[in-house]
């Protein structure tokens, strides 16, 4: 042989298997990662919600499977004075408590945004009503509202001599309603105040300085600078506050259980009373399902409010 012949060798890359291509797929990986979350939502959210909607169209009772009755439960509720009163009081309770929580919470947030001594300690103390278990708060208010041992009545009657007799906080409908609103406002103010305080601290101080150089008053700075820049957070906090207040159950049930004479029933407490102690699961589910449109409206408000970019920038939407 005249010389060694050179042989060129080119490695051949094997095509990836179908399984390897599947795991290289980004949509497949996203679906696999989200599968546990979807499973939890299906078990703990979708199934109970679907079951509740199904039960609302049946006459199911505890210990007895029901039959499909269509809209009969809802037709009955439209003629039920207790249910209509619960709807009215739920809307009234939510509206009044939300307005009071926002007014007092915003005022408190503005105060905490100033340079105060021991500001961190004050913030921690303000959070106490929010982190206290609801049942413990309800028991405390139940003692405050006691007709014989109320500390409020004791101070007003025996110490300050402003009143001549003790107040029956929970014995008359309107006294009980306002007492529940006060308790809900006391628990809800910290959530509103701390959330709005976080939003206030994101506003640049240079904006206030520029407004002061232009001769803006305190009210003008609040209206032209603070409110527009705080509006996205206001929308979110307002939505959560409405949802929490509208679906309130523990506070009302622990203090009044819907009394006196069913005057303080919210839709949530009435649904529980009809469905569990009253054994009418179908009717209780129908009351609970009736809450869904109100909750959807509150959620849609938040969605559209946050989605308005000009609003977030402090401008007006066209």
Tell me the C-alpha distance between 229 and 107, whole Å.
Answer: 16
Looking at the 3D structure of the chain, how many domains does it have? 2
Check pLDDT > 80 for residue 212: yes
Determine the pLDDT at residue 31. Answer: 86
67, part of any domain: no
**Host H or E run for residue 26:** helix 26-41
Spatial CB neighbours of 160, under 8 Å, sequence gap ≥ 6: none
Look at 182 and 113; give whichever has higher pLDDT.
182
Check pLDDT > 50 for residue 311: no
- Mark whether 84 and 188 lie in a shared domain: yes
Question: What global pTM score does this model have?
Answer: 0.83
- Mark whether 256 and 291 lie in a shared domain: yes
- Mark whether 49 and 117 lie in a shared domain: no
Reported as a single tens digit per residue, the pLDDT across 142-164 is: 899 988 888 888 888 888 888 88
- Mark whether 39 and 137 lie in a shared domain: no
- Mark whether 32 and 170 lie in a shared domain: no
160, part of any domain: yes
Determine the pLDDT at residue 290. Answer: 92
Contact 268, 244 (CB under 8 A): no
Check pLDDT > 70 for residue 13: no
Determine the pLDDT at residue 4. Answer: 55
Contact 243, 298 (CB under 8 A): yes
Check pLDDT > 80 for residue 90: yes
- Mark whether 260 and 201 lie in a shared domain: yes
- Mark whether 100 and 175 lie in a shared domain: yes
Confidence of residue 11 (pLDDT cuts 50, 70, 90): low
231, part of any domain: yes
**CA torsion, ordered 266, 264, 93, 288, to nearest 10 deg:** 0
Place of tokens 């049946």: 58
Determine the pLDDT at residue 227. Answer: 85
Average pLDDT over residues 171-187: 93
120, part of any domain: yes
Confidence of residue 63 (pLDDT cuts 50, 70, 90): confident
Check pLDDT > 60 for residue 274: yes
Last residue of a domain, one of 35, 53, 71: 53
Percent of the chain's residues with pLDDT above 70: 91
Last residue of a domain, one of 36, 53, 70: 53
Average predicted confidence (pLDDT) for the chain: 85
13, part of any domain: no
- Mark whether 46 and 84 lie in a shared domain: no
**Host H or E run for residue 304:** helix 292-306
Tell me the C-alpha distance between 51 and 84, whole Å.
Answer: 24
Q: What angle do CA 209, 214, 215 make, to 5 degrees?
A: 95
- Mark whether 164 and 42 lie in a shared domain: no
Backbone angles phi, psi at 249, to 5 degrees: -135, -55
Check pLDDT > 80 for residue 298: no
59, part of any domain: no
Determine the pLDDT at residue 174. Answer: 93
- Mark whether 171 and 236 lie in a shared domain: yes
Q: Which domain holds residue 29?
A: 24-53
**Host H or E run for residue 85:** helix 81-112
> Residue 112's domain is classified under what CATH number?
1.10.3720.10
- Mark whether 41 and 184 lie in a shared domain: no
Reported as a single tens digit per residue, the pLDDT across 14-35 is: 777 777 777 778 888 888 888 8
Check pLDDT > 60 for residue 76: yes
Bridge partners (DSSP) of residue 68 are 58
- Mark whether 208 and 263 lie in a shared domain: yes
171, part of any domain: yes
State the alpha helices, DSSP H only, in 113-217.
119-126, 128-131, 134-144, 151-153, 173-200, 205-213
Through-space distance between the first and last CA atoms of the chain, rounded to whole angstroms: 89
Determine the pLDDT at residue 306. Answer: 58
58, part of any domain: no
């Amino acid at each position: 042989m005249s010389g060694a012949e050179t042989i060129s060798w080119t490695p051949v890359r094997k095509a990836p298997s179908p399984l390897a291509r599947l795991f290289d797929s980004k949509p497949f990986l996203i679906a696999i990662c989200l599968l546990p979350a979807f499973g939890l939502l299906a078990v703990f959210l979708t199934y109970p919600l679907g079951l509740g909607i199904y039960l609302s169209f049946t006459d199911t009772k505890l210990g007895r499977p029901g039959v499909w009755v269509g809209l009969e439960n809802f037709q009955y509720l439209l003629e039920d004075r207790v249910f209509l009163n619960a709807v009215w009081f739920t809307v009234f309770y939510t509206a009044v408590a939300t307005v009071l929580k926002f007014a007092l919470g915003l005022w408190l947030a503005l105060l905490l945004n100033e340079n105060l001594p021991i500001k961190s300690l004050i913030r921690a103390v303000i959070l106490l009503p929010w982190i206290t278990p609801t049942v413990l708060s309800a028991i405390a208010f139940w003692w405050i509202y006691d007709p014989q041992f109320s500390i409020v009545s004791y101070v007003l009657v025996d110490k300050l001599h402003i009143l001549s007799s003790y107040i029956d906080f929970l014995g008359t409908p309107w006294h009980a309603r306002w007492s529940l609103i006060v308790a809900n406002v006391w628990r809800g103010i910290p959530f509103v105040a701390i959330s709005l305080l976080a939003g206030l601290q994101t506003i640049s101080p240079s904006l206030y300085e520029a407004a002061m150089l232009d001769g803006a008053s305190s009210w003008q700075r609040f209206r032209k600078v603070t409110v527009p820049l705080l509006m996205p957070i206001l929308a979110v906090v307002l939505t959560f506050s409405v949802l929490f207040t509208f679906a309130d159950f523990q506070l009302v049930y622990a203090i009044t259980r819907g009394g006196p004479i069913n005057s303080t029933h919210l839709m949530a407490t009435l649904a529980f009373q009809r469905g569990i102690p009253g054994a009418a699961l179908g009717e209780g589910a129908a009351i609970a399902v009736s809450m869904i449109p109100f909750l959807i409206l509150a959620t849609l408000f938040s969605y559209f409010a946050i989605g308005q970019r000009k609003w977030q920038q402090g401008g007006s939407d066209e």
